Structure 1
Amino acid sequence: MKRVWSGLLLGIGALPAVAATCEQSSRQGDVQGKFDANGEVCFSLPELGENYVSATLNGVTDARLLDGQNRRIRTLIENGPADGEHTLLFALPVKQNTSLVLHGEAGKPWRFQWRMKETSPLPRVQMLAPVSPTLKALANVISAGGSTEAFWQAQRRQGTPMVEPVDANHKRVTFLWRGARDNVFILGSPAGDHDPLFRLGNSDVWFRSYVVPADTVMQYKLGR
Structure 2
Amino acid sequence: MTTAKRLMHVLCASWLFSSSQYSQANEGALSLTNNIKGVLSTEVDVPLNVAVGDYIEGQIVISNGEVNLGLHEIEQTEKNKMRLLLESVASGDQFRFVANEATQSLRLISLVPEDGEIEYSLSITKQIPVVDQHPPIRTYLSPTIKTLVAKIQKKQSITTLWDGIVNQGTPLIEPLVSSQDIDPALPHADKVIMTFLYRGAKHNVRLFGAPSNQHEFLENLVGTDIWFKSFVVPSTTRLSYKLAPDIPEFSGSPWGEKSCVIG
TM-score (norm 2): 0.41
RCO higher in 1 or 2 (8 Å CA, sep ≥ 6)?
A: 1
Between structure 1 and structure 2, the one with the greater Rg is: 2
Which structure features the higher share of strand residues? 1
Which structure features the higher share of helix residues? 2
